[in-house]
Amino acid sequence: MRARVLVTLRPGVLDPQGEAVRHALGTLGFAGIEAVRQGKLIEIDLARSDPAAAAAEVREMCEKLLANTVIETYSIEIA
């Protein structure tokens, strides 16, 4: 069972990486880009086969390690 965790900075937290990407895209000639935010994608292959239990376990991983919940939020997708 595969879990996909998306970790993004909370709205209002400065995102210099995203800003750099936005600037670089503008330099390359792409117009009409309003905002770019950069985050992390973490794919986890789990031995568990129960989706609900897997989601609960991954949520615990996020709280303990994968996300800094002071400045980041996360979402979990189980496939």
By CB under 8 A, name the binding residues for a copy of itself.
6-8, 18, 21, 24-25, 28, 30-48, 57, 60-61, 64-66
Residue 74: strand pairing partners: 7
Closer of 36 and 55 to a copy of itself (Cβ): 36
Quote the least distance from Cβ 21 to a copy of itself, whole Å.
Answer: 7
The two three-digit tokens of residue 7, written as one number: 């970790």
Quote the least distance from Cβ 39 to a copy of itself, whole Å.
Answer: 4
CB 10, CB 69: distance < 8 Å:
no
The two three-digit tokens of residue 21, written as one number: 């990407």
